[in-house]
Amino acid sequence: MRRCVRGILVVLTLCGSLVPTVSAQAAEERRAEPVPLERLFDNVAVSDDSRPAEADFDGNGASLPARDLTAAGWTPGRTLTVQGARLTWPRRQPGEPDNVRAAGQDVRVAGRGDALALLVAGTAGTEVGGAGTVTYADGTSSGYRLTAPDWRTGPLATKAVALPRINTPGGSLAEQARLYVVTVPLVPARAVVSVRLPRVAGLHVFAVSVRAATQGWTGSWTTSTGGYTAVGPWTDRTLRLVVHTSAGGPRVRVRFDNTFAAAPVRIGSATVAVRASGAAARGLPVPLAFGGEESVEIPAGAQAYSDPLGFPVPADADLLVSFHLPGTVPAAPVHRLAQQRSYVSEPGDHAADGSAAAYTSVITSWPLLTGVDVSGGPGSVVLLGDSITDGDKSTVDANRRWPDVLADRLRSQSAVPRYGVLNQGISGNRVVTDRYPGDGVSTDTAGVSALHRFDRDVLAQTSARTAVVFEGVNDLRWGTSAEQVIAGLRELAARGHARGLRMLATTILPCEGEARCTAAVDAQRVAVNEWIRDSEVFDGVLDFDAAVRDPARPSRMLPAYDSGDHLHPGDAGLAALAGSVDLPLLVP
């Protein structure tokens, strides 16, 4: 008998013949070739209301109602875009296997990109997770950890979609079912060939894909969805939203988000134009297309990107993005504090109108529209913040938010790349706790926490190179401790670094004089700022506190920078923040 050194192959000599036997380790290494996910489906999650016993998602007979999935726009075989990733809802009928229980299977997946996206849910009653492996065409591999929230108890703030009911053999329950899109990092520029799923009980995978890298595009304008609010209602109306570009380019695409929604929304037509003044375009607006069609239906929780359009977008200019809503829209995902007037038309499709005549109503929010990208350019800097980044108390229609002034500085120099600047500030937002609950129609538009929106509002943004985190004052003003804020900031830094982002933090501004900015709150603020300056958790620090505080009384802003409420800088203070940024710190 002779035994190989590693103990994998044992060869027995019997009667002059060689008989190989394979160890368990070798058997694991000699698995079958990876196969498409749908060939591995071994669980039935979706049932027809009339035949609920045909599905058993959780091992206790409960399942997802097919009728509710259809109502949300999640129909069999439909490709959905969530967090910039394209995922196909299984092309299976109710009662047919439509997902796989993760048990170490090897799945054939192809593509190059910045992240692996998986449509998942857990059924163990709590969050479940485990380690998996990505294999690349060059023979290398990388590990990842996949965590799936529970389909009945997971956070609504991070869901892709929620359904209003759960089917059981005894009838339906008025209890929300959740599905989640989770992304994990990939090695940049390497072609993925397969993914080994984790081996963990109660983790279900419905779809998997590689999120394509956004090479060749730069984010020029964006905004964050802060909530899902009652609007209009708008029936057969055209919205003409005014947005201000940071970077320019020869082609354009726009992004609409149906974030937090329970039902699809249809855009009948859409156009883009450079603004002349008010709601009037400079020349005729140019039609946008979606997969070659003039209209698009966006499922609940999903996104729609327009097709690339040859349209010269100037830097530092106002664009008009107009879109017709042919149906009735009683509620929509919105960014409330636009600090910019936009317009709603009289009945009819007026997206192609160059004239402002039909646009008789003014709104001061940005519904549905979340991004404008331009071709070329060096990529983008993402600014994750609260009302100070959002531009609260800046002059309306003047683009004097500190991100706007930072974009001005970048365009006027050549020492560092002229990045696009993406403003992801939400008035009232916090690092640790949600203001908007993440589901349903609400009057609160302060958004889900920075921790809960980081994947969507930072990691999924077009060609993000660097992120700046400027939050914490709202947490402290409402009773969150310095230790909790620090833990949240530490987690944001780690998540950004895991995706290859340069992560910067700003110090928190003083706010003595505002009702909630007590001496105790200021002591917590000072503690957070000391940690930001000294911890070296972030790649760099923008010391905004030092830029605007009163040297004679460091717990308050200089009066010249104070908008008057002692919490928000005015135009001069916002310009001082942007002016204090050491531009080379933005460069990865």
pLDDT digits (tens, 9 = 90+) for 174-233: 999 999 999 999 999 999 999 999 999 999 999 999 999 888 999 999 999 999 999 999
Amino acid at 512: E
The angle subtended at Cα 488 by Cα 487 and Cα 490, nearest 5°, is: 65
Across the range 536-545, mean pLDDT stands at: 98
Residue 27: pLDDT band with limits 50, 70, 90: very low
Q: What is the pLDDT of residues 446-483, one digit of tens each?
A: 999 999 999 999 999 999 999 999 999 999 999 999 99
pLDDT score recorded for residue 392 = 98
Q: Are 508 and 521 in contact (CB under 8 A)?
A: no
Contacts of residue 515, defined as CB under 8 A and 6 or more positions apart, other chains included, come to none
Q: Are 281 and 241 in contact (CB under 8 A)?
A: no
Structure tokens at 575: 């310009």
Q: Are 509 and 545 in contact (CB under 8 A)?
A: yes
Of 481, 445, 457, 498, residue with least CA distance to 158 = 457
**Whole-number average pLDDT of the chain:** 94
pLDDT score recorded for residue 22 = 36
| φ and ψ of 16, to 5 deg | 80, 5
Cα(298)–Cα(258) distance, integer angstroms: 7
Q: What is the pLDDT of residues 473-523, one digit of tens each?
A: 999 999 999 999 999 999 999 999 999 999 999 999 999 999 999 999 999
Across the range 576-584, mean pLDDT stands at: 98
Structure tokens at 417: 């790349």
Cα(472)–Cα(475) distance, integer angstroms: 5
Q: What is the pLDDT of residues 59-95, one digit of tens each?
A: 999 999 999 999 999 999 999 999 999 999 999 999 9
Amino acid at 185: P
Annotated domain spans of the chain = 1-30, 37-212, 219-374, 378-588
pTM of structure: 0.93
Q: Are 266 and 296 in contact (CB under 8 A)?
A: yes
Amino acid at 66: A
Structure tokens at 514: 């505002």
Of 406, 393, 450, residue with least CA distance to 547 = 406
Residue 440 pLDDT exceeds 90: yes
Q: Are 411 and 418 in contact (CB under 8 A)?
A: yes
Of 362, 360, 277, residue with least CA distance to 320 = 277
Across the range 334-342, mean pLDDT stands at: 98
230 has which bridge partners? 331
581 has which bridge partners? none
Of 92, 104, 98, residue with least CA distance to 119 = 98
pLDDT score recorded for residue 31 = 55
Structure tokens at 293: 């069609």
Q: Which CATH code is given to the segment(s) 378-588?
A: 3.40.50.1110
**Coarse DSSP helix, strand, coil percentages of the chain, rounded to the nearest 5 percent:** 15, 40, 40
Give percent above pLDDT 90 in the chain. Answer: 94
Of 468, 479, 543, 560, residue with least CA distance to 508 = 543
Of 69, 38, 65, residue with least CA distance to 52 = 65
Residue 16 pLDDT exceeds 90: no
Cα(548)–Cα(511) distance, integer angstroms: 11
H/E stretch holding 442 reads none
Cα(321)–Cα(139) distance, integer angstroms: 45
Task: Specify the long-range contacts of residues 89-92, CB closer than 8 Å, at least 24 apart.
Answer: 89/119, 89/206, 89/207, 90/38, 90/41, 90/206, 90/207, 91/38, 92/38, 92/41, 92/46
| φ and ψ of 54, to 5 deg | -75, -10
Give percent above pLDDT 70 in the chain. Answer: 95
Cα(158)–Cα(454) distance, integer angstroms: 10
Cα(435)–Cα(429) distance, integer angstroms: 7
Measured in whole angstroms, how far is the alpha carbon of residue 550 from the centre of its chain? 37
pLDDT score recorded for residue 218 = 98
End-to-end CA distance of the chain: 58
| φ and ψ of 576, to 5 deg | -65, -40
Structure tokens at 420: 């696009």
The angle subtended at Cα 467 by Cα 464 and Cα 471, nearest 5°, is: 145
Largest Cα separation within the chain, whole Å, is: 97
Sign of dihedral through CA atoms 477, 478, 479, 481?
Answer: negative
420 has which bridge partners? 380
Across the range 141-159, mean pLDDT stands at: 97
Residue 224: C-alpha distances to residues 59, 337, 373 (Å): 38, 10, 15
| φ and ψ of 43, to 5 deg | -145, 150
Q: What is the dihedral of CA 354, 358, 364, 365, to 10 degrees?
A: -80
pLDDT score recorded for residue 12 = 27
